[in-house]
Chain A
């Protein structure tokens, strides 16, 4: 854990050094603020103290931002050769991947924390369902963690950042949208299966205020599988076919 944290600290510092973090924060807060207060189905239009529109916007903005964040995390180290340097230091491949994951998750955590003023102001103008807000944030965090691990996997199998970005989006869009659409067109068993795979289903059930262990298991499985695949892609160099 100590090793992972050292990697995390360096990654976070490099986010803020490269302006990437500021651009992400600015764009995320701008978008979500705009749609919460001024545009579309904002709080004044629906005349209800609710953060539903904020969660709806954040659901899509994070979907696009996270691959942009994770695309360089391993791919760049591969192309510049620093991956070799890191993996010959006394830390395991797991600790390395975990450190990267935590750094991205922390940055998303920071940007979500910065939207708390929205919550406070909306709460002050009318009665708000506090439980739904907190589970909404939890849902966003779990969703982000799932996409970060998918993004890290995409970044670990190529040294080209653009390929990593597009691959992360391609895998992501299945969970984000396609599985739930496909679920409608397949009847019976396959449909139920697709519905279970759809991240949207689990995200909505959490944001509705119900934290079910079934949904938690779903998110943690994706996170684990993504990180496991990323670790495997890095450790592949050790596999020799005789």
Chain B
């Protein structure tokens, strides 16, 4: 089941929380939804899960429209809302049974599904405890278990790893990746590394508008545009090396990184690479090339550049 978001706008009063947003998530794809606080991530997710209607535009999930067939969509979506709301006075197992019933799982299968969820989400030791007695990490697992219990074909997770410790984050990430192989998943997060590690594609939203959409490699390339190399060359006069580097055909700018050693930052002209030229130059002149590292634009930089505009 794919998610197609078409030009949705949602206003709260006069403020547009989401402004003409469109994107698609294909079946079997894991899409990360990134953006600063208040960018419209949660609003978009609430519209996808049929919690409220957008003012304009339409969303279809597996061909069903949120305007015409919300009940059909709700059956096929597993949703973990922001802040993970739960009936805290209920024991874990009773809560999962309640959710299983309301998701319309046949009585004969409920027991098996609950057991499977308890195993998948690592709740074996806690299943008889009241939810309020569990730590935040375990509560998060209960939230994930209730979203997965009816084996939905679409998963919408609003900050699934918030409040977890690093080990739990990795576990949940692996879990999402495992389940995500046959499901359509959209998850939101502030943590860039997480989105990069888990998701096939990233959609960045800022002030209600989509500012970037693509794989993490795409986004980097889009932001960086040109190659930047860190080069250290020994065995030659610093200034001579500097001049030689500047003389290369593909090189646009050369800069000293620090005064002390002979390290340079070499920026190439757009859409060209000067790695080979630098190497050939060193061979020709008999210099020692001790470092040649392409500088990666960090996703953080991409994010900052796109969302601070």
A residues contacting B by CB (< 8 A) are: 3, 6-7, 9-10, 13-14, 17-18, 80-82, 84-92, 237-238, 240, 242
A-B contact pairs, 29 of them (CB 8 A): A6-B98, A6-B101, A7-B102, A10-B98, A13-B90, A17-B89, A17-B90, A18-B89, A80-B85, A80-B88, A81-B81, A81-B82, A81-B83, A81-B85, A82-B87, A84-B46, A84-B81, A85-B79, A85-B81, A87-B51, A88-B77, A88-B79, A89-B99, A89-B103, A90-B74, A91-B102, A238-B53, A240-B10, A240-B55
Q: Report Cα–Cα, A84/B146, bound state, in Å.
A: 14
**A84 adjacent to B85 (CB under 8 Å):** yes
Chain B, interface residues (CB within 8 Å), range: 20 to 34
8 Å CB contact of B11 from A14, A88, A91, A240: A240
B53 lies within 8 A of A240 (CB) = yes
- Does the CB pair A88–B74 fall under 8 Å? yes
A-B contact count (CB 8 A): 67
Nearest first, the 10 closest Cβ-Cβ pairs linking A and B are: A81-B85, A240-B55, A90-B74, A88-B49, A237-B52, A82-B85, A90-B75, A238-B53, A6-B101, A89-B102
Complex Cα gap A91–B101 (Å): 11
Question: What is the predominant secondary structure among interface residues of chain A facing chain B?
Answer: helix
Kindly list 19 other residue pairs between chains A and B, CB separation below 8 angstroms, not including A85-B79, A90-B75, A90-B104.
A6-B98, A9-B98, A10-B90, A10-B98, A14-B87, A17-B90, A84-B51, A85-B81, A85-B86, A85-B146, A86-B102, A88-B51, A88-B74, A89-B102, A89-B103, A90-B74, A238-B52, A240-B55, A242-B56
Taking CB atoms, residues of chain A closer than 8 Å to B83 are 81
- Shortest CB–CB separation between residue B213 and chain A, in angstroms? 25
Interface of chain B, helix or strand or loop or mixed?
loop
CA distance A85 to B101 in the complex (A): 14
CB neighbours (8 Å) of A86 from chain B are: 102
Q: Mark B65-95, 1 if CB is under 8 A from A, else 0.
A: 0000001001101010111011111100010
Complex CA gap A89/B146 in Å reads: 11
> Does B74 contact A10, Cβ atoms closer than 8 Å?
no
Q: Is B21 an interface residue (CB 8 A)?
A: no
B50 interfacial contact with A, CB 8 Å: yes
Chain A positions within 8 Å of B50 at CB level: 88
Q: Report A-chain residues with C-beta under 8 Å of the C-beta of B86.
A: 82, 85
- Per the bound structure, the CA–CA distance linking A10 and B98 in Å amounts to 7
**Nearest B-chain residue to A236, judged by Cβ:** B52
Shortest distance from the beta carbon of B280 to any chain A beta carbon, whole Å? 61
B90 cross-chain contacts in A, Cβ below 8 A: 10, 13-14, 17
Nearest Cβ on chain A to B118's Cβ, whole angstroms = 19
The interface residues of chain A lying within 8 Å CB-to-CB of B87 are 10, 14, 82
Measured between beta carbons, the chain B residues less than 8 angstroms from A238 are 52-53
Q: Is the CB of A3 within 8 A of B51?
A: no
Cα(A239)–Cα(B52), bound, Å: 8
Closest Cβ neighbor of A7 among chain B residues: B102
Proximity string of chain B (1-44) to chain A, C-beta cutoff 8 Å, 1 when within and 0 when not: 00000000011000000000000000000000000000000000
Chain A residues with Cβ below 8 Å from B46 are: 84
Q: Chain A residues near B82 (CB, 8 Å)?
A: 81
Chain B residues with Cβ below 8 Å from A6 are 98, 101-102
User: Which chain A residues lie closer than 8 Å to B77 at the CB level?
Assistant: 88
CA of A13 to CA of B90, assembled, Å: 9
The reply to whether B85 and A90 form a contact with Cβ atoms under 8 Å apart is no
Residue of A nearest to B91 (CB): A17
Closest-by-CB residue of A relative to B13 is: A241
In the bound complex, CA of A6 to CA of B220 (Å): 49
Chain B residue numbers with a CB within 8 Å of A92 are 71
From A86, which residue of chain B is reached at the shortest CB distance? B102
What chain A residues lie within 8 Å of B89 (beta carbons)? 14, 17-18
Q: How far is the CB of B65 from chain A (nearest CB, A)?
A: 14
Residues of B within 8 Å of A91, CB to CB, are: 102
Chain B CB within 10 Å, residue with most, of A7, A82, A85: A85
Q: Tell me the smallest distance from the CB of B268 to a CB of chain A, in Å.
A: 50
Shortest Cβ distance from A239 into chain B, in angstroms?
8
Checking B51, B101, B104 against A237 with a beta-carbon cut-off of 8 angstroms, the contacting residue is B51
Contacts of A82 in B (CB 8 A): 85-87
Most buried by B among A17, A88, A89: A88
| C-alpha spacing A81/B86, complex, angstroms | 8
Nearest neighbor of A82 in chain B, beta-carbon distance: B85
- B103 adjacent to A90 (CB under 8 Å): yes
A237 to B47, CA, bound (A): 11
Q: How far does the Cβ of A82 sit from chain B's closest Cβ, in whole Å?
A: 4
